[in-house]
């Protein structure tokens, strides 16, 4: 495994092998274009691709090629074309873009038959860069039972990649993109869980990583997005929110990036057991019957069962499983499932807080009428030291603020305002930055941002309003 190699050396070695893989793929696809399926000329190129993928797997790396920011990456390593490999690079990148393929991954089990079939399958499809083209490829791959080559579609930003990527720097747009990418990743995994398939978390891991980067760069935007409510996709929506809120706590705790990634994954899949709960129960608009409530309470254990199907159980899976198991247990073990309990793991305590907050402030689950953010926090603070870890809860309040992002306020001027950002000084918790959305007479306006900490503005918080009562969707100020 080359374990004594220093990381830089390993990276250099991986980049070298990555370039070899690109070249062999280029030769394979070219050969497939020139010879019919079954011709012996294709055998050597197929073998070369497989052997190179094996070489990568032997080093415990992923044999995946991915387009990002106009570059081709092997795993996370950027491959730079040299003069000799330039044609192969341009060909492969062009091919991926034309077929709307964002990444190609060869799993360790990939066979010669699959690699050959994949090369010929591309020949049959017209290269029009669109999601439909990509879907066609995926469908054909399914028909031909190619399961050990995994594709991902081109992301929006790659599809419209320009040399000057100022848009991508727009952090609000980036936050929103990451939010929806995460929702799509979690829905995919949960759909697979529902069908009892092996769960693959590669894509989810990647979106969680971009979420962490974004959170470190611009926390406010991402946390603001947790006010998004997609009523038809409650569980996915909720999962992403719990992930963001858990990460926000983890970040304030000073967890390292790899730990944050584990926490994010555990939070993202904490409710995976709900994929087993009948939709009539899950989406019931009225109160649960005692039997339905009993069914609902099974989801932590069902989640554990689902998660045992994770591809290659490892330390990460163990922590994800713990998160799923513990999130309703409460710090004092007063929750469910009823099991012998000697306290919760750190992740369980963090996810429990994020989960409860998002559950209370959204219009589904448990409380049918959502709590306003400050009411939810007060409700939870009353249980500090019992259901919730008091230190973590304090960190959480600090990070969402006593007027959390998205709270609808009425000001002393009778204006309505939405909290956009908390004052970075924890002492000034009562003077957030807001956007004015209605004037003193109640007329809706596209108002300015106002910093309530600025005494010259003469504005202060008079009270908190329930946005539902006023028919105001506060998320629209963040999306």
Which of the stretches 85-93, 266-274, 412-420, 431-439 binds Fe ion when contact is defined by CB under 5 A?
Answer: 266-274
Which of the stretches 90-98, 260-268, 355-363, 381-389 binds Fe ion when contact is defined by CB under 5 A?
Answer: 355-363
Give 355 or 415: the residue with its C-beta nearer to Fe ion. 355
Give 228 or 450: the residue with its C-beta nearer to Fe ion. 228
Minimum Å gap between C-beta 258 and Fe ion is: 24
Give 157 or 271: the residue with its C-beta nearer to Fe ion. 271
Which of the stretches 168-176, 351-359, 405-413, 434-442 binds Fe ion when contact is defined by CB under 5 A?
Answer: 351-359
DSSP letters of 216-231?
Answer: HHHHHHHHHHTT---G
Give 214 or 239: the residue with its C-beta nearer to Fe ion. 239
Give 157 or 355: the residue with its C-beta nearer to Fe ion. 355
Minimum Å gap between C-beta 315 and Fe ion is: 23
The encoded tokens of residue 41 equal 């000329």
Site map 107..146 versus Fe ion, x via CB under 5 A: ----------------------------------------
Give 49 or 350: the residue with its C-beta nearer to Fe ion. 350
* From candidates 150, 271, 389, 415, binder to Fe ion by CB under 5 A: 271
The encoded tokens of residue 118 equal 């994949």
Minimum Å gap between C-beta 394 and Fe ion is: 22
* From candidates 355, 374, 389, 415, binder to Fe ion by CB under 5 A: 355
Minimum Å gap between C-beta 277 and Fe ion is: 10
Opening angle at CA 13, ends 116 and 162, nearest 5: 70
Residue ranges in 148-187 that form contacts with Fe ion under rule CB under 5 A: none
Query: CA-to-CA distance for 316 and 203, rounded, in angstroms?
Result: 15
Minimum Å gap between C-beta 358 and Fe ion is: 7
Give 75 or 337: the residue with its C-beta nearer to Fe ion. 337
Give 62 or 355: the residue with its C-beta nearer to Fe ion. 355
Which of the stretches 35-43, 317-325, 353-361, 400-408 binds Fe ion when contact is defined by CB under 5 A?
Answer: 353-361
At 101, which helix (H) or strand (E)?
A: strand 101-106
The encoded tokens of residue 433 equal 């930055």
Question: What b/e string do you get for 465-476 counting C-beta neighbours within 10 Å, with b at 16 or more?
Answer: bebeeeebebbe
Opening angle at CA 399, ends 237 and 385, nearest 5: 95
Give 219 or 271: the residue with its C-beta nearer to Fe ion. 271
Minimum Å gap between C-beta 270 and Fe ion is: 6
In angstroms, the Cα distances linking 171 to 134, 188, 222, 477, 478 are 28, 25, 9, 14, 11
Minimum Å gap between C-beta 97 and Fe ion is: 38
Which of the stretches 109-117, 128-136, 354-362, 451-459 binds Fe ion when contact is defined by CB under 5 A?
Answer: 354-362
At 436, which helix (H) or strand (E)?
A: strand 433-438
* Dihedral angle of Cα 462, 467, 468, 474, to the nearest 10 degrees: 180
Give 35 or 288: the residue with its C-beta nearer to Fe ion. 288
Residue written as tokens 């504005």? 459
Helix (H, G, I), strand (E, B) or coil at 63: strand
Give 61 or 271: the residue with its C-beta nearer to Fe ion. 271
Which of the stretches 159-167, 185-193, 348-356, 418-426 binds Fe ion when contact is defined by CB under 5 A?
Answer: 348-356
The residue among 350, 342, 330 whose CA lies nearest residue 391 is 350
Query: CA-to-CA distance for 346 and 325, rounded, in angstroms?
Result: 13
Minimum Å gap between C-beta 359 and Fe ion is: 6
What sections of 162-298 are H helices per DSSP?
Answer: 166-169, 171-194, 202-225, 234-253, 257-268, 279-282, 290-296
Minimum Å gap between C-beta 226 and Fe ion is: 13
Minimum Å gap between C-beta 235 and Fe ion is: 8
What one-character DSSP code corresponds to residue 285? S
Query: CA-to-CA distance for 77 and 65, rounded, in angstroms?
Result: 10
Binding-site size for Fe ion (CB under 5 A) equals 2
Minimum Å gap between C-beta 271 and Fe ion is: 4
Residue written as tokens 């006593």? 402
With a CB cutoff of 8 Å and minimum separation 6, the contacts of 238 are 271, 358, 359, 362, 364, 365
Which of the stretches 90-98, 271-279, 381-389, 420-428 binds Fe ion when contact is defined by CB under 5 A?
Answer: 271-279
User: Could you list the residues that contact Fe ion (CB under 5 A)?
Assistant: 271, 355
């Amino acid at each position: 495994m080359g374990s004594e190699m220093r990381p830089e050396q390993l990276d250099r070695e991986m980049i070298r092998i990555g370039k070899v893989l690109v070249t062999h793929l280029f030769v394979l696809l070219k050969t497939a274009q020139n010879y019919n399926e079954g011709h012996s000329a294709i055998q050597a190129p197929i073998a070369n691709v497989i052997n190179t993928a094996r070489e990568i797997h032997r080093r415990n790396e992923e044999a995946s090629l991915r387009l990002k920011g106009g570059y081709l990456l092997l795993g996370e390593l950027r491959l730079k074309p040299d003069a000799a490999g330039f044609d192969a690079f341009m060909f492969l990148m062009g091919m991926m873009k034309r077929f709307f393929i964002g990444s190609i991954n060869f799993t360790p089990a990939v066979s010669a038959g699959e690699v050959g079939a994949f090369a010929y399958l591309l020949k049959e499809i017209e290269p029009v860069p669109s999601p439909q083209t990509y879907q066609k490829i995926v469908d054909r791959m399914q028909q031909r039972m190619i399961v050990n080559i995994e594709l991902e579609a081109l992301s929006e930003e790659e599809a419209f990649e320009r040399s000057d990527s100022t848009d991508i720097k727009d952090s609000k747009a980036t936050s929103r993109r990451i939010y929806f990418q995460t929702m799509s990743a979690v829905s995919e995994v949960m759909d697979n869980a529902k069908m009892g398939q092996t769960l693959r978390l590669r894509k989810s891991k990647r979106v969680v990583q971009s979420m962490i980067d974004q959170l470190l760069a611009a926390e406010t935007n991402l946390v603001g997005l947790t006010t998004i409510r997609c009523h038809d996709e409650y569980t996915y929506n909720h999962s992403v929110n719990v992930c963001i809120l858990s990460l926000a706590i983890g970040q304030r705790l000073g967890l390292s990036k790899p730990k944050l990634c584990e926490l994010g994954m555990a939070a993202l899949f904490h409710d995976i057991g709900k994929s087993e709960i009948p939709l009539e129960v899950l989406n019931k608009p009225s109160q649960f019957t005692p039997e339905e409530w009993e069914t609902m309470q099974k989801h932590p254990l069902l989640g554990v069962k689902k998660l045992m199907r994770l591809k290659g159980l490892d330390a990460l899976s163990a922590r994800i499983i713990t998160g799923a198991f513990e999130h309703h247990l409460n710090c004092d073990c007063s929750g469910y499932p009823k099991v012998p309990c000697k306290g919760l793991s750190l992740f369980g305590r963090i996810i429990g807080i994020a989960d409860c907050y998002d559950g209370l402030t959204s219009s589904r689950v448990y409380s049918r009428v959502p709590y306003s953010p400050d009411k939810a926090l007060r409700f939870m603070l009353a249980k500090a030291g019992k259901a919730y870890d008091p230190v973590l809860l304090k960190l959480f309040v600090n990070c969402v603020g006593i007027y959390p992002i998205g709270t609808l306020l009425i000001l002393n001027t009778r204006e309505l305002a939405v909290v956009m950002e908390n004052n970075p000084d924890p002492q000034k918790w009562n003077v957030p930055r807001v956007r004015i959305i209605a004037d003193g007479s109640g007329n809706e306006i596209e108002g300015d941002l106002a910093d309530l900490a600025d005494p010259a503005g003469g504005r202060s918080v008079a009270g908190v309003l329930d946005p539902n009562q006023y028919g105001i969707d506060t998320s629209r100020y963040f999306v």
